[in-house]
Amino acid sequence: MTIALDQLGEEVERYRVQVLAGGVVVRAVEVSTSGWTYTAAMRAADGTGAGTVRVSQLSMRVGWGAVAEAAF
């Protein structure tokens, strides 16, 4: 699964990505590019078949922004 992210006018591009299985965070990463891939190897290591991914963008003015969430 690949996630494409849009930089929203910030000086620094930084995102927090969380993967949840059964409502529990099984992987959390911070990335500085506008994409992230949740590989088959990561899914196997995390034991996730289906789950949820959450993404938020860091704002230098207000901190972490609103969370976008999608099921997979």
Structure confidence by residue, pLDDT tens digits, 23-37: 999 999 999 988 899
Radius of gyration of the chain, Cα coordinates, nearest whole angstrom: 12
- Check: pTM over 0.75? Answer yes or no: yes
- Tens of pLDDT, residues 35-45: 899 999 999 99
pLDDT at 64: 93
Is the pLDDT assigned to residue 7 strictly greater than 90?
Answer: no
Instruction: Provide the domain limits for residue 36.
Output: 2-71
Give the separation between CA 37 and CA 34, rounded to whole angstroms. 11
| Domain count within the chain | 1
CA 51, 56, 18, 30 torsion: positive or negative? positive
- Average pLDDT of the residues of the chain: 88
Provide the pLDDT for residue 9.
Answer: 67
